[in-house]
């Protein structure tokens, strides 16, 4: 494993809108709580020309199905479009229930399709219900790929195409990132308070690789909630210089609840579709989770040295 690159310190959190410290709001308004390789050797998404200064990135997964759930996906797409991000990170489980070509066409493309030119995806478990073909044909990306964005190195890995290959890819990208901050994303979270899936020790190889590579941020979905964890080390214990994991799985599909709070969970929002927005800078990043009513459920900033 590569040696972790020196991190930064400094964390400011703003809890506003949906967040109620030590409590929650009603389900109808959104509930939240606060502290307590592959053979597909294709090119990465081209996206748009991005600036080298501050820039906004949108991130969410668990997106589009038919009927009622399509409305949720359409609303998160509108929220993203209104923010005018330079990149959309699609965190897997994008076309329900099986990730077929027809489901990508009928459900995903009709909602998030206009965002496709600026989208960088990773597949979820539902994409592999149909062996991943619908996903790979729609996006035309490799299983594991990386790209530069706003002075950061961004790494997408496919946990289902081989955990070892994905971990090796993260480590290699971390070793070559130099002084650039590192953001890594895949579908299933290592840590989660979600009632449906929750914390998964089976993802430890990817978490260890990301922390060891010096990742500032790890993004996941899978549980249909929003959650942010305190900066943590490879052992899952708080570290001032640690990696922050975000779960952003409220992208539009059936919303879920939590089963209590996992250790070191810093903020949770459930009960309403929404999107995580990150503003990436050379000296740190800001985050803001906003729901489809454009209410802020969690926000803050973290500084690099």
- Distances, alpha carbon 202 to alpha carbons 11, 21, 73, 207, in Å: 29, 31, 29, 10
**171 CA to centre of own chain:** 19
Place of tokens 């066409």: 105
Q: Rounded to two decimals, what is the model's pTM? A: 0.86
The pLDDT of residue 70 is 65
Asked if residues 200 and 125 have their Cβ atoms less than 8 Å apart, the reply is no
Domains of the chain, CATH where assigned: 12-19+51-303 (3.60.21.10)
End-to-end CA distance of the chain: 24
- The whole-angstrom separation of Cα 266 and Cα 262 is 9
| Spatial CA neighbour of 87 closest among 53, 118, 122, 123 | 118
pLDDT in tens, the chain (305 residues): 444 454 444 555 544 334 322 233 333 334 344 333 333 223 344 433 333 345 999 999 999 998 755 689 999 999 999 999 999 999 999 999 999 999 999 999 999 999 999 999 999 999 999 999 999 999 999 999 999 999 999 999 999 999 999 999 999 999 999 999 999 999 999 999 988 776 889 999 999 999 999 999 999 999 999 999 999 999 999 999 999 999 999 999 877 768 889 999 999 999 899 999 999 999 999 999 999 988 999 999 999 86
Yes or no: say if 167 and 184 are a contact pair by the CB < 8 Å rule: no
Signed CA dihedral, 235, 238, 244, 249: sign only: positive
Report H helices in 26-106.
68-83, 101-103
């Amino acid at each position: 494993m590569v040696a972790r690159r020196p991190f930064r310190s400094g964390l400011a959190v703003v809890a506003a809108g949906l967040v109620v410290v030590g409590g929650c709001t009603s389900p109808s308004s959104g509930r939240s709580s606060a502290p307590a390789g592959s053979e597909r050797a294709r090119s990465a998404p081209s996206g748009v020309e991005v600036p080298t200064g501050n820039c906004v990135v949108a991130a969410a997964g668990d997106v589009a199905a038919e009927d009622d759930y399509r409305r949720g996906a359409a609303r998160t797409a509108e929220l993203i479009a209104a923010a005018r991000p330079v990149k959309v990170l699609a965190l897997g489980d994008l076309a329900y229930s099986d990730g077929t070509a027809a489901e990508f066409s009928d459900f995903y493309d009709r909602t998030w399709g206009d965002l496709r030119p600026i989208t960088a995806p990773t597949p979820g478990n539902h994409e592999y219900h149909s062996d991943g073909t619908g996903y790979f044909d729609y996006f035309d990306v490799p299983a594991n790929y990386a790209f530069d964005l706003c002075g950061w190195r961004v790494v997408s890995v496919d946990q289902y195409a081989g955990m070892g290959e994905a971990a090796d890819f993260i480590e290699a990208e971390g070793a070559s990132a130099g002084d650039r901050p590192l953001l890594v994303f895949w579908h299933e979270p290592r840590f989660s308070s979600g009632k449906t899936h929750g914390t998964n020790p089976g993802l430890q190889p990817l978490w260890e690789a990301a922390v060891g590579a010096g990742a500032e941020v790890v993004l996941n979905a899978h549980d249909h909630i929003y959650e942010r964890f305190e900066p943590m080390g490879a052992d899952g214990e708080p570290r001032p210089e640690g990696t922050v994991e975000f779960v952003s799985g409220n992208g539009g599909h059936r919303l879920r609840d939590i089963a209590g709070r996992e250790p070191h969970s810093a903020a949770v929002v459930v009960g309403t579709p929404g999107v995580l927005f990150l503003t990436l800078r050379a000296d740190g990043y800001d985050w803001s989770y906003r729901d489809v009513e454009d209410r802020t459920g969690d926000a803050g900033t973290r500084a690099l040295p």
